[in-house]
Chains A and B, each alone.
Chain A
Amino acid sequence: MKIHERLLRIDRRIIYAILLLVVTLPLVFPSVLKVTPMNPVEKLFEAVDSTPDDMAVIIDCSYAPQIKAEVEPMAIALLRHAFKTRKKVLVLSLYVEMIGLATRALNQVVEEFNSTARTSSDSIIYGRDYVFLGWQPPPIVPMLGMGESISAIYVVDYYGNQTDTLAMMKGIRNYNNISILVALSGSSIPISWVAYAQNRYGLRVGVGCTAVSGADFYPYYQTGQFTGLMVGMKGAAEYEELVERNHAVEGRRIASEAMLSLTYAHLVIIFFIIAGNIGYFISRRRERRQP
């Protein structure tokens, strides 16, 4: 078989094996790859960073287990950022199967901060520093209802407390008291936040999404409907970089650890695409030359 035919007929098991190797080896033998934060991620970072003391940030953790690898690092980086800078945080999920993941991210970051805290003011305390609102179906109810009153929609929080009795909620009534809402999702939920909450109440919306949705969401960033945008694992790594660089927050950077694997995997795929195209064009030219 000639080489250009071999290039067209590479056994897919070889491709799988090479990909598995280039993805696994950098994880087992880690090395640092510096990530340069891009403009959309910086905009989101600045929007969260500039939240006034009397306002809160809402984090919508609406990501399913199948996209956890891309979006959970975003949630963790955001929570680290918010807690380090003592921003008030409200967390919610729009679907019940995502509550477990939201709880997991919250518990992890709260534990990180409280394990090194020495006083009450250093600690992250539920009800004072953050509130987990839980889930309220269907999604449009909290999207529109929170514009009037958050505690009317989430009468009780996830843990069963009356929401309006929590210390943090005293000054947080509705979207007027929310600096930005960051929607972490793998579906079109962020567009719904823009269509309902931003359209009617002027709420600023930031987004953390999977790479699959990234191409769909850039038009909304370009028009300013999304204040900032994190796309995929790379977006999460960029945010982790900004949080560590600006606020010296330490903690495992899951997304950043994966950047080398991601880079090598992309290079391998680019190589095979080029190889396949070379084989294709050579084959086509030879077929045309034959009488």
Chain B
Amino acid sequence: MLSISTDIGQGTITAFAQMAADALGIPVDDVDVADPDTSRMPDSGPTVASRTIMVVGGTVTKAAQAMARILQSHAAETLGASNVECVNGVFRAGGRALAPFAAVARRYLIERGPLVCFEQYQHPPGIEWDDKAYRGDAYPCYAWAACAVEVEVDLDTYEVSLLDVLQVADAGKAVHPVLAEGQVEGGTVQALGYALLEEHFWSAKGQLLNTRMQNYLIPTALDVPVLRTLLLENPYPSGPYGAKGLGELPMDGPAPAVAAAVLHAIGRLVPELPLSPDRVMRALESAP
């Protein structure tokens, strides 16, 4: 599997292997997702914009499906069967196992040469985007999330503590539910950091003053509660297995949710992030 999408822990390698394996009917461990190498791989686009599973994975799926069709038809020919399909690494027909995938592939290689399937992403019908004029529908669909938080505000120290956090995310299809939850949970905590802890301080000359882990503060394990995550699947018809983008989605809700929860708690809107104790104090002391 060759693409330049880069796995930095979000699970691209696993998800691509799953999607290709599913389309080909082989075990997921039999798919080798090669390290990105722009010298020998097509330009799959950058690993950004929550597009990897939906756009690139969708293209992976189509390429794997194309490969599966070619191999199926080759297997049918050479094995003298019809309605051949590959299940769990074995080509079968009429309820009988015929030949392992590797054997069929090796025979194809000998008889026809290398099999390379190349796919390019196409916007679904009805979505028009002009890249030169930069106009049209840039996005074929949207993913949705809802975030609820429960907070406690200490009226002596003005500190906001997180008691409970729930995020519900609809990304069409969770190709790998554990990895998808991981994206939601990680993005949630990062956004909670934006809500309560993370801030840039600048000198009068525009130099960043807090450049160290000691003074740019991100949440520790004690700063956030157990996160509750629910994945909803509202399939997107033009997405692979119904999948939409997910990576950035969890970032949107938590900080506004925390601000709303603090408003609910103290009756004042703290209009600036992070909701530092200093800002909470000033909101409480300002006229209602």
Chain B associates with chain A: no
Q: B-side interface residues toward A, CB under 8 Å?
A: none
